[in-house]
Amino acid sequence: MKNRRKFFKSVGLATATALVSGLHPKGSSAESKIKWKMVTSWPKNFPGLGAGAETLAAYINKLSGGSLVVKVYGANELVPPLGVFDFVSSGGAEMGHSGAYYWKGKTEAAQFFSSVPFGMTAQEMNSWLYYGDGIKLWEEVYSDFNLVPRPAGNTGVQMGGWFNKEINSTADLKGLKMRIPGLGGEVLAKAGGTPFTLAGAEIFTSLQTGVIDATEWVGPYNDRAFGLHKAAKYYYYPGWHEPGPSLECIINKDAYDQLSDQLKAIIDLACKAANIDMISDYMSKNYQALEYFKKENVQIKQFPKEVLIKLNKISDEILLELSQKNKLSKKVYDSYVNFLNRVRPWTLISEDGYLSSVK
């Protein structure tokens, strides 16, 4: 009996040890703890965007049981907002959190993985990335830069921006100096405006001092945080330039390849969770900020149909031109447009059909 009790005690101890160790990846001891840096294009803890990076890091830290610890650095803490791509590519940091359209100067095709003017909504975009060949193509586009990309947030349809003059026709776009990056900026330029790419922290002062006449940023939630309603009179919708902008987590491939399969899976799951979390947060906070703007008598205006039709036409032309620059751009363009053309009829029947039938 004594030997039997001794045997079961040893078995129980071994089982408990196995169960506890199974909760966390191998190598979760202090000696084997992996420490990573994440640089971002957003001010530290900035509502929505900066908070999204913090959320992603927190998910990774918790899911890994502390075996992979990610520390977040806001814009300008280690690198400027638009220096994230190069810094992570070179291994200065293992991770980055930003928007793919900032990297058009590196590779034109990157812009498809952020947002395309008059393109996919957030739900359509997620469908292409996760269940089409979006992520696979994204990895191919970034492969020459030693980077592994993952979707890690989405703001949903954005606002059209803040303007210091009314937009009543396409003629009002001529000479307009506007902060608007990516493909949206190219569309504005072809319509006669002058696009600027400015980091978030520079927007308010530039708008207030007249360096720019207008700016898009995100939507009511983030725009209120920057106080943009104090620098411009008119707030236009819809955000034709960013109907479903994905945010990205970029990972240095050399660092990623050194991880166990389990830690790679944890990063993938954490990015997907952060993606869902961000768009839910924006839906909750945007309506509250919009209510505030209405109380502040902000003039919320819809772009004239004439303007949207013109911009849409220009956008189609620019996307076609982009697709002809190289084989990879053509490959991504074909995939994106084909998916959009197939998924959009369902969006119109389902969500648009429902919304148009209710008050």
Residues ≥6 apart with Cβ < 8 Å to 270 = 56, 59, 60, 63
CB-CB contact of 125 with 244 (8 Å): yes
Q: Each residue of 248-288: pLDDT tens digit?
A: 999 999 999 999 999 999 999 999 999 999 999 999 999 99
Q: What is the pTM of this model?
A: 0.86
Average pLDDT in the chain: 91
CA 229 to chain CA centroid, nearest Å:
23
Residues ≥6 apart with Cβ < 8 Å to 335 = 128, 132, 133, 134, 137
Mean pLDDT, residues 146-170:
97
Amino acid at 327: K
Q: Which residues of 107-121 are buried (b: 16+ CB within 10 A; e: fewer)?
A: bbbbbbbbbbbbbbb
Q: Each residue of 302-317: pLDDT tens digit?
A: 999 999 999 999 999 9
Q: Each residue of 193-211: pLDDT tens digit?
A: 999 988 888 999 999 999 9
Q: Which helix (H) or strand (E) holds 178?
A: strand 177-179
Q: Each residue of 48-104: pLDDT tens digit?
A: 999 999 999 999 999 999 999 999 999 999 999 999 999 999 999 999 999 999 998
User: Would you state the pLDDT for residue 10?
Assistant: 47
pLDDT(11) > 50: no
Q: Each residue of 110-155: pLDDT tens digit?
A: 999 999 999 999 999 999 999 999 999 999 999 999 999 999 999 9
